[in-house]
Amino acid sequence: MGEFEVPAGVDPYTPSVARMYDYYLGGKDNFAADREAAEKIIELLPNVREIARENREFLIRAVTYLCEQGVRQFLDVGAGLPTQRNVHQVAQDLAPESRVVYVDNDPIVMTHARALLAENARVIAVAADMRDTQALLDRAEIHEHLDFSEPVAVLLLGVLHFIPDDDEALKIVTALRAPLVPGSHLAVSHGSIDTVDKDRDRKGQQIFSRTSVPGTTSRNPAQLAAFLDGLEIADPGIVSLSEWRPEINLALPTPGGVGAIGAVARVI
């Protein structure tokens, strides 16, 4: 058990990738089972904490860039537990009218997001599984909050690697892109390990098979490009996260770690 009360609907004994990610980032919203699974992943992938930090920094730069492009609506799928500088804070600091929908299928994310967002009328949290993409897109509260006749940025940050099947991942992305009008954007970040060691991968899958997700997979830039096919990929293209527009926020350290790639692309 963890150090805080277990919210209703939350299973503290099954490791949750949302809480494991919180642990990598140094957060406190995690239980013993999460920390144990996360430590096993750290043994297999020692720079996983650095990857998590780089991913959050990529999120900040990508949302900043999207605001600069005039985007004021964000659909953040696989939003994760609130941490420092969440999407709505980055966007609303630059453009206070920005509207954000956080989507996640983990009950703990919903509990925390709803508490945090209770006083921010421009942000809502929706519990949904992106694998049932049509049901997600049909949710009335999303359409009450976002106007799909105007540009929307769909964020898929650190989440598609939890859909190991390539066809299923492409189906999800294609469905999420379908309602987007020109000027909308898709931002993606994804685990990407140069050489996947088979033994390490098997051990990793064993750990993930006992968590809140079915498994995990690494994808290379060409595989990520398939998700962005037909979109206009912003410079510098599909690159290692720390290489994506580091000039947007020079105040943040760019450790240059490897292990994840990302891109932002525009609907034309």
Ligand X SMILES: C[S@@+](CC[C@H](N)C(=O)[O-])C[C@H]1O[C@@H](n2cnc3c(N)ncnc32)[C@H](O)[C@@H]1O
The least distance separating ligand X from the CB of residue 7, rounded to whole angstroms, comes to 14
- 248: helix, strand or coil: helix
Between 110 and 267, CB nearer to ligand X:
110
Of 10, 12, 15, 17, which lies in the binding site for ligand X, with binding defined by CB under 6 A? 17
Residues 117 to 176 in contact with ligand X, rule: CB under 6 A? 129-131, 157-159, 162
Backbone angles phi, psi at 11, to 5 degrees: -100, 105
The least distance separating ligand X from the CB of residue 44, rounded to whole angstroms, comes to 16
Query: How much of the chain is helix, strand and coil, in % rounded to 5?
Result: 40, 15, 45
Of 56, 72, 88, 190, which lies in the binding site for ligand X, with binding defined by CB under 6 A? 56
Report helix angle 198-208 to 32-44, nearest 10: 170
CA angle 209, 33, 205 (to 5 degrees): 20
Cβ 42 vs Cβ 67: under 8 Å:
no
66 makes contact with ligand X (CB under 6 A):
no
Per residue, the 3-state secondary structure of 72-117, as one string, reads CEEEEECCCCCCCCCHHHHHHHHCCCCEEEEEECCHHHHHHHHHHH
Of 10, 12, 15, 18, which lies in the binding site for ligand X, with binding defined by CB under 6 A? 18
48 makes contact with ligand X (CB under 6 A):
no
Q: Distance between terminal CA atoms of the chain?
A: 49
Site string for ligand X, 79-118 (x = CB under 6 A): xx-----------------------xxx--x---------
Q: Which residues contact 28 (CB under 8 A, 6 or more apart)?
A: 3, 4, 22
The least distance separating ligand X from the CB of residue 212, rounded to whole angstroms, comes to 6
Backbone angles phi, psi at 72, to 5 degrees: -130, 5
How many C-beta atoms lie closer than 10 Å to residue 27's C-beta? 14
The least distance separating ligand X from the CB of residue 149, rounded to whole angstroms, comes to 25
The least distance separating ligand X from the CB of residue 72, rounded to whole angstroms, comes to 19
The least distance separating ligand X from the CB of residue 82, rounded to whole angstroms, comes to 10
Site string for ligand X, 226-265 (x = CB under 6 A): ----------------------------------------
Residue 33 CA to residue 208 CA, distance in Å, equals 12
Q: Report the largest interatomic distance among the alpha carbons of the chain, rounded to a whole angstrom.
A: 49
21 makes contact with ligand X (CB under 6 A):
yes
* Binding-residue total with ligand X (CB under 6 A): 21
78 makes contact with ligand X (CB under 6 A):
yes
Nearest to ligand X by Cβ — which residue? 80
Between 71 and 213, CB nearer to ligand X:
213
12 makes contact with ligand X (CB under 6 A):
no
Binding residues (CB under 6 A) for ligand X: these are: 17-18, 21, 55-56, 59, 78-80, 104-106, 109, 129-131, 157-159, 162, 213
